[in-house]
Chains A and B, each alone.
Chain A
Amino acid sequence: MIEQLRWLVYKDWQIDWRTRYPLAGIVLYIASLIITSFLSFSGFISPEVWNALFWVILLFVSINAVAKSFSQEDDRTLYYFYAIKPERIIVAKFIYYCIYQLILVAIAMLFYALFLGFPVRTIGAFLVNLAVGSIGLSAAFTMVSSISSKTNNNAVMMAILGFPVIIPILILAISNSQILVLGGAWSDITGNLITLLSVNVIIIALAYILFPYTWKS
């Protein structure tokens, strides 16, 4: 099982590395989004706006990064179907896109801090909340991507199916990091952070149970 998972994750990595342009494209996407927001917000950005804008940027980055996860598998579906259990496919996708998302978030955070500053004092708590939130985003979008890849209009479906589902995670993560940006400490967010984690666990568990049904259709 571990062997198969490693193979699947490695295969996703190889596909991305061989073509290179998806990863380069998304990095460029991050850069241009952040420069655009810098030009529109520079000079009058307050910490609350800084925080909200950053999460909105993350939302768009992750929906674009993860959207391809299943639509690129079209021609290989039949082969997997006979070779691998669907549960392993979804777990491998979770692992790969979780790492992928964390790398992209790190890049986005760097660019963002460079252009629009970094008003956070409790950095540890901020980063933990950021990581938990982005894992939730990538997990939910991975599942939504597996649903929307079955429709004819992939890009639009991804947004209309994904945004409503993602909102609980987004609200929790934004309110956490707003508390931190305004000078809160670890103890102010622990309750919310636990709720956020449990929402993540619910989403991952449901995706694990439901994915085989979308896969077999």
Chain B
Amino acid sequence: MKPAPFAYLRPATLEDALAALAGQQGAKVLAGGQSLVPLLSMRLAAPSTLVDINALPDLGHVTVTGDGDGAGDGVRIGALARHAEVLASAEAAASQPLLAMALSHVAHPTIRNRGTTVGSLVHADAAAEMPMVLRLLEGSVDVASVRGRRTIPAAELFAGPLESTLAHDEIAVEAFFPALAPGAGVAFQEIARRHGDYALVGVAAHVETEGGEVTRARVGFVSVSDVPVVVDVTGAAQDPEGDPAGAALAELEPADDIHATSAYRAHLVKVLTPRVLADAVHHARQRSAQGKSA
């Protein structure tokens, strides 16, 4: 359990980090290291160079932007912000409550203290909470390279199992999670074998309401497909006889593994989806009521 040899760089500026990545086809970015370091130790990954970005300035922020109404409102999370810092931010939780709801399920405190939210996004694990949350909230990731900067919308970020659409020379510098609009609500639940484990199934819901009625309902899933999946279940959610879980399952591919059968995973989707949708609707109505009284 010792890594194969690699070169190690710890640049002091983003420009140097990008140059180092551009010059090395086999280089990998090291941020929190909570996924990468075990892969190195088990020799499942053997990059030629690690570009450690922990010394880069100005990437540790968790910032809430906007005045509460605009399209740019939301939470901006720098590449070096740890899960624990995002989780601890009351402003972030106020702007987008789903962040804290989901982050409390991300592993254990010791891992959240090191692991970065942006790193988790670009690791693109369909069993991880935050990539799905970014998709559900229709957020985005800003990436930089020696060629310039670009913004990748969440819907275009995930290419396949553990594969993002970042080019090898790009560093994800910031993630953007849109604020929760007035009249909208969110919820999250997951079932894991042990506290803090990857979920057997995790479900998050995002609903929009007007006058208490659902106008849009979307559900995101963890661990039931190869890439983070979000399903629009508006029709089923609006119909009192509707079956949003059934609608979702049509687009999911729950698989067997050593911890659960595909049938059990599908069953958990059926159990959790209506619960989470109901929670999200309740959340939306609660927020609307508070909005009116305020």
A and B assemble together? no
Chain B contacts to A: CB under 8 angstroms: none
Chain A contacts to B: CB under 8 angstroms: none
